[in-house]
Amino acid sequence: MKDWIERRKAVVFVLLAYGITWILAMPLVLSYLGIISIAMSYSIHYLLPYGPLLAALVTTTLVDGTEKVRELFHRIAKWKIRPLWIAITLFSVWLMYIGSGLIIVVMGEPWPDINAFGQMQYLPYLNVIVAWILWICTYGIGEETGWRGFLLPHLQSKYNALTSSLILALIWAGWHLPMFLYHVNFIMMGPIGTIFWVIGLMFGSVLLTSLYNNTEGSILLVAVWHGTYNLFTAAVGEIADTTAGIITMFVIILVIAIIRRFGPENLSKHERQTDL
């Protein structure tokens, strides 16, 4: 059984990540569609990202045992990185927010109030710092432990960093499917918006791969970046939508620069992280 899972561990991981998340999302979907009438707290939405984390822990335990699980937790807590990459992780999205604010002002609109980003979907108002921490602890740590911490090294053992990023992005996009059945932001995208969302996800996947490889496998830092990105792109309100579009444009420009600077093989000055 162990040998069978080991030969198919990426498939096992993806099925578990999808299965756990989709089971957690099912009450939200059924409630939104009116199939069940039980009062349902949509804050369950913030449990969904723990699907990839749990899938990574289960698959790692089955294939490699507790020693590899400890190594996975070590990468979740890995913060001793070159100060440059800590600074890039902490401040790059905030700089994108400032840049988007300048563009919005030039367009004749008021500066996007930082406090507006403390409003998370399905939750009461949180101040921006609390919202930032919550995004990191949920969609940051939860998703990144699975996608970058487990699946990416496996893919990079077979493909170059760029190809691995694009394959992962398609799997990552599919994982979001239940959200298109209950989450108003996803529903309102429509077919064209969804296509652009997937393209944006691909660029985001490449950027996170580069960050993961440049930090030599720090799940913590990619989780912080992911959580910070969500803070400014997934908040509630029209100004958040405008800011999200401009920040995504900055991400695309940055990814093009990363590919030109480091090349597709590793997307990094270091060798790409693998599970070999």
Could you read off the pLDDT of 149-178 as tens digits, one per residue? 999 999 999 999 999 999 999 999 999 999
Taking alpha carbons only, the member of 152, 143, 144, 147 closest to residue 275 is 152
Residue pLDDT, tens place only, 67-118: 999 999 999 999 999 999 999 999 999 999 999 999 999 999 999 989 889 8
Structure pTM? 0.94
Q: What is the mean pLDDT of the chain?
A: 93
Does 5 have pLDDT greater than 80? no
Residue 42 confidence (pLDDT): 84
Ranges of H-type helices in the chain: 2-7, 9-32, 50-64, 66-76, 83-106, 128-135, 141-146, 152-156, 161-175, 184-187, 190-214, 219-233, 238-262
Contact 81, 216 (CB under 8 A): yes
Residue 214 confidence (pLDDT): 97
Close Cβ partners of 193 (under 8 Å, ≥ 6 residues apart): none
Give the mean pLDDT of 189-197. 93
> Is residue 159 packed enough to be buried (19+ CB in 10 Å), middle (13-18) or exposed (0-12)?
middle
Q: Sign of the CA dihedral 275, 73, 254, 118?
A: positive
Residue pLDDT, tens place only, 215-258: 999 999 999 999 999 999 988 877 778 899 999 999 999 999 99
Does 204 have pLDDT greater than 90? yes
d(Cα 92, Cα 96) in Å, to the nearest integer?
6
d(Cα 71, Cα 50) in Å, to the nearest integer?
18
d(Cα 197, Cα 203) in Å, to the nearest integer?
10
Residue 230 confidence (pLDDT): 95
Does 276 have pLDDT greater than 70? no
* Token pair 């749990």 in the structure block, residue: 54
Does 3 have pLDDT greater than 80? no
d(Cα 33, Cα 35) in Å, to the nearest integer?
6
Taking alpha carbons only, the member of 151, 165, 168, 188 closest to residue 55 is 151
Residue pLDDT, tens place only, 38-56: 766 888 999 999 999 999 9
d(Cα 248, Cα 183) in Å, to the nearest integer?
20
Residue 120: phi, psi to the nearest 5? -100, 145
d(Cα 236, Cα 184) in Å, to the nearest integer?
10
* Token pair 């064209």 in the structure block, residue: 192
Residue 171 confidence (pLDDT): 98
Taking alpha carbons only, the member of 274, 72, 255 closest to residue 153 is 274
